[in-house]
Amino acid sequence: MASRQFTVHAGNHIRKHCPVWVNDGKLAADRSYLVIDDVTNEALPAQAVETADGTRLVWILPALAARASRSYSLETGAADSASAKPGRDGGGVAVADGRHGVDIDLDGELFTTYHHAPQHNKLFLYPVVGPTGRGMTRAYPMIPDVPGEKHDHPHHKSIHVAHGDVNGVDLWSELDDHGYQRHVCFLPAFGAGSAYVSGPVCGAFLSRSHWVSRSEQPVLTEEKRVVVYAPASDARILDIGVTLHATEGPVRFGDTKEGAMLSVRVASSMDADDAGEIENAYGGRGEDECFGARAQWMDYTGPVSGKTVGVAVFDHPSSFRYPTYWHVRNYGLLHANCFAWREFLGHPGIDGSYVLPEGARLRCQFRVYLHTGKTQEARVKERYHDFITPPVVEAVE
């Protein structure tokens, strides 16, 4: 017998493979759950997650028309029961220590690794395997000899966060006198419970690091939460939340384009100076129309092993200086930079630098949406609303 019931309201947007969350303090994080569609009787895996604000239930909404509602009944049980279709398009997410860092596996296959070893100048995610089973970020310089790859900008390491002027310290480039990002520890992934969260619906970790000068003097403390959702056949969803904490005194972020609160270097075959395309939320296309512009999202599409795929980065309204400015290049660079006003707007009287007071925190929240097809085919605009205006879940007693 169902213990709880929930009604999901789509709101104004078409939903597809959309994560939905609801608070429910009656659930146990160590038990298995299913949500049963009250109309089709389809069973979907659900996951109870322990957070700082209590237990939350999450599952993936396969599809729902705009302004429609769908009711689900909650039951205990494993997702591999006879009536269930695990993850609809796939199974779960596993987060664990691996040979080179923290591995995140989807359906038993490596999706990405968080590299945090001290030999690296910065922390980064690589590889990033898309829905076609191929890497969607450039392998260089981690793997230096991949045929067809560009070898410029060795500091563009797949997906990472960094800035080129932090109290005068260069955390972006890897030239002389640059600083470092030093991993400190892993914290409970959602503020409570385990440091690594795995499950049928999502996996997560929360990393703490210090940004330090060349002489290893701390400049600030970073906390980065990474949440990965169970895959669809045509998409991957990766949420990255970044908090910069002024633990060592005030922190000045300088006005420079050399930096990003989130940076992606796409696979070279996707570059827009070849067969790729760039498009932003306002319909701007290519570097000329998108470089230095503010937009809620940016999508970089192109071929990987003969199939068209895309990397869309979504900025959340809760982010510092939303919507962000974008440093996006035809040669494969996509990054969100909210500080480079003078650089982007080309006006010497404008200063986008910012001083974070001692003890204060600066937060940004992004979603990386890896999809098949071009921007319109993937309905990136609708998927952005899955992130910023998700469906409303109503608990029915």
Helix (H, G, I), strand (E, B) or coil at 372: strand
Give 43's contacts (C-beta < 8 A, 6+ positions apart).
Answer: 34, 35, 36, 37, 75, 79, 81, 83, 84, 85
CA angle at 141 for the pair 138 and 142, rounded to the nearest 5°: 85
Q: 82 and 115: one domain? A: no
State the average pLDDT for the chain.
94
What is the predicted pLDDT for the residue at 95?
98
Please give the C-alpha separations between residue 96 and each of 86, 105, 115, 393, in angstroms, as whole numbers: 21, 9, 13, 31
Please give the C-alpha separations between residue 395 and each of 15, 21, 24, in angstroms, as whole numbers: 19, 11, 9
Q: What value does the mean pLDDT take over residues 306-326?
A: 98
Do residues 128 and 137 touch, judged by C-beta distance below 8 A? yes
Rounded distance between C-alpha atoms, residue 180 and residue 116, angstroms: 11
Q: 43 and 119: one domain? A: no
Least confident of 78-82, 263-267, 331-335, 392-396: 78-82
Please give the C-alpha separations between residue 179 and each of 36, 84, 135, 170, 333, in angstroms, as whole numbers: 51, 50, 28, 6, 21
Hey, which residues does 196 pair with through a beta bridge? 205
Q: 114 and 250: one domain? A: yes
Do residues 189 and 214 touch, judged by C-beta distance below 8 A? no
pLDDT, tens digit (0-9, with 9 covering 90-100), for 333-368: 999 999 999 989 988 899 999 999 999 999 999 999
Q: Give yes or no for residue 298 having a pLDDT over 50.
A: yes
> Rounded to 5 degrees, what are φ and ψ at 320?
-60, 130
* Amino acid present at 243: T
What is the predicted pLDDT for the residue at 23?
93
How many distinct structural domains can be found in the chain? 2
Give 286's contacts (C-beta < 8 A, 6+ positions apart).
Answer: 272, 277, 278, 330
Q: 13 and 119: one domain? A: no
Rounded distance between C-alpha atoms, residue 291 and residue 288, angstroms: 6
DSSP, res 84: B
Percent of the chain with pLDDT over 70: 95
Q: 220 and 237: one domain? A: yes
Please give the C-alpha separations between residue 51 and each of 100, 144, 207, in angstroms, as whole numbers: 28, 40, 16
Helix (H, G, I), strand (E, B) or coil at 215: coil
Residue 4 confidence class, pLDDT cut points 50, 70, 90: confident
Secondary element (H or E) of residue 385: helix 380-388
DSSP, res 268: G
Whether 169 is covered by a domain: the verdict is yes
Q: 129 and 8: one domain? A: no
Q: What value does the mean pLDDT take over residues 140-148?
A: 96
Tell me the residue range of the domain where 82 lies: 4-86
Q: 20 and 75: one domain? A: yes
Rounded distance between C-alpha atoms, residue 329 and residue 354, angstroms: 24
Bond prior to 127 in cis (omega within 30° of 0):
yes
Q: Strand 102-106 and strand 109-115: pairing?
A: antiparallel
Do residues 200 and 45 touch, judged by C-beta distance below 8 A? yes
- Any idea what the CATH number is for the domain that residue 124 is in? 2.70.98
Whether 138 is covered by a domain: the verdict is yes
Whether 346 is covered by a domain: the verdict is yes
Percent of the chain with pLDDT over 90: 91
Q: 64 and 153: one domain? A: no
Residue reference for tokens 């030239």: 175
Q: 61 and 113: one domain? A: no
Residue closest to 336 by CA, chosen among 292, 369, 271: 292
Whether 393 is covered by a domain: the verdict is no
Q: What value does the mean pLDDT take over residues 221-235?
A: 97
Q: 204 and 57: one domain? A: no
Q: 38 and 122: one domain? A: no
Residue closest to 136 by CA, chosen among 153, 172, 111, 99: 111
pLDDT, tens digit (0-9, with 9 covering 90-100), for 41-96: 999 999 999 999 999 999 999 999 999 999 999 999 765 433 333 333 446 999 99
Helix (H, G, I), strand (E, B) or coil at 342: helix
Rounded distance between C-alpha atoms, residue 61 and residue 58, angstroms: 10
- Any idea what the CATH number is for the domain that residue 16 is in? 2.60.40.1180
Hey, which residues does 159 pair with through a beta bridge? 125, 264
What is the predicted pLDDT for the residue at 91?
66
Residue closest to 391 by CA, chosen among 74, 68, 92: 68
Token couple for 227:
């949440």
